[in-house]
Structure 1
C-alpha cells in the first residue's frame, strides 16, 4: 500500500517525552489530559508520546459537522507527522479504540502495536442506549446532570461506593466543570462507529485490556476485539470504565510490559 499524502494537522496536540513513538487516542466526552492524565508522566518517561484533542475537547474547537473515525485517525497521524514521529504504537481508550484500529488500517506501514482499553468494535444495545442518553444530556447544557450520569456509568462499583459523600460531591463538581464542550458530537460517534470489517486484517501485535466491572463497554465487546483481531492478547482489570484512574499502576504495568516486548 502506498503511503497516504500528509494531512495538515488542525487539532490541538500534545508531545511529551522521548523514545519510541506512542500515539494516544482519548475517550468520548474527555480530552487527552482527561483520559491519560494519571499515566502521562510515566508514559513520557519511556516513549515519545503524541496525542490530540478531538473537536470540542481541550483547545480544539467544536466541529460544525458530524465527526468521523477516519478524520480522527488521520488527524492523529497528522499530529505524529508534525512532531516528526514516523513509526509508532497506538493506545486507544474507549472511543479511542476504534480510532486506533482505523489508524492501523489506514496507515499500516507506520503502526507497530495497538493497545485497546475498555474499547469496542461497534455498539451493542447497552452502549447504543448509553451514548444516546449521554449525548442528549450533553446537548441540554445541564453540566450537573451530565456529571452525575458520567460518574454513575464510568466508575466501577468499588471506586464509586468507597467515596465519602463530600468527596463524591467534589468529584461531581470537577467532572461538571471539565466536561468537553463537544461531548454531544463525540458520544454521537460512539453510537455510530463500526470497525468490525477492520479487525481481521490487522497485522500488528495487539493488547486488549478488558475492564470487568464496566457499565459502558461490556466485556463481550472487549472479548470480540480480542477474539477477532489475529493473535490479540487479552488482559483483564477488575475496574469500571476508568482503569487509568482506578488501577493506575496495574494498567501501566500491563501496557509497558506489552510495548517493551512488541514495540522497540
Structure 2
C-alpha cells in the first residue's frame, strides 16, 4: 500500500534520509540547508502526520511507525543504503531506524537529540502540548519562541519584531503539533544506543533551552564511537545559524567521523 506520508525528494548521489522535529516539517526544518544537502545526495524526507502534506493520524504516533515509513519511502525511491539526519525528535526517529534496519544505515547525524524526555523536558513538553490544544495561538507562540531561540537571538529583536515573531510561531504551528509533542514525552531510545555501530555525529547547539545540551551529550555518550560537536545558537539552527549547520552536516556526511569527543 502506498504511503500516505507526504514526501520530499531532492538531488542525486548517495542516499540521505531526513527526520524532522516536533511541530516542524521537512521544509520548515531542513529547507534552509536543503540545497547544500541535495548538491551531493539524493535527499528523501517525509512529513509526520499532521504537518506538511500529511493528514493528521487517528492514533498516537510511534517511533517505529515513523522510522518504517521513512524507510519505505527510501525503498520507493530506490535507495538500498543511506545516511540519516535527525533533528530533535527526528534524532529519536533516526536512532530507532538504525536500530530496526542496521544493514541499511551508513551514518547518523543527529542535531539537538535526546535519548528520552527527562523531568525538565517532560514538563516543558507537557506545557507545550497543553498550549497546542488550548487554542491560544499567541501564548503558544510566545512559549515556543522563548524556548526555541537563544537569548542572543531574542535580544536581537525589537519589541514589535518579537511580538510579530511570536504571533507567527503560534499561528503557523502545524495541526499535528500536539501529537508530535505527545511522542516527545513518550519517546525513549536509551535501549537502542549501545547497538548503534555506524559513524555518528551529534551536533549540540550550546544555547538550546528546549532540549538541554546535557541530553545531546547523553545521546552521544550512549552511542559507541559517537562524536559530539558544539555550535552556537538555540534549538533552531536552521533559523539562527543555517550556514554553520549546513557546513557541519555536509562535512559529517562527506567524511564520517570516528574518534569520539565528549
The answer for unaligned runs of 5 or more in structure 1 is: 1-6
Give, in whole Å, the separation in 2 of the partners of 1:49 and 1:215. Answer: 29
Cα contact 1:207–1:233 (8 A) shared by 2: yes
Give, in whole Å, the separation in 1 of the partners of 2:137 and 2:97. Answer: 32
Shift of 1:87: 1.1
- Aligned match for 2:43, one of 30, 49, 52: 49
Cα contact 1:8–1:78 (8 A) shared by 2: no
Indicate the larger mover: 97-106 or 236-245: 236-245
Where do 1:174-253 residues align within 5 Å? 174-253=168-247
Cα contact 2:16–2:84 (8 A) shared by 1: yes
Instruction: Please say if 1:12 is aligned against 2:45.
Output: no
- Aligned match for 2:17, one of 4, 17, 23: 23
Q: TM-score, normalised by structure 1?
A: 0.94
Give, in whole Å, the separation in 2 of the partners of 1:240 and 1:104. Answer: 26
Runs of 4+ in 1 over 6 A off after TM superposition: none
Shift of 1:31: 1.0
Shift of 1:8: 4.1
- Aligned match for 1:72, one of 57, 66, 76: 66
Other structure's SS at 2:170 match: helix
- Aligned match for 1:141, one of 135, 141, 160: 135
Cα contact 1:73–1:102 (8 A) shared by 2: yes
The answer for unaligned runs of 5 or more in structure 2 is: 258-262
Q: Look up the match of 1:161.
A: 155
Aligned-residue CA RMSD in angstroms? 1.3
Q: TM-score, normalised by structure 2?
A: 0.95
Shift of 1:262: 2.7
Q: How many residues align?
A: 257
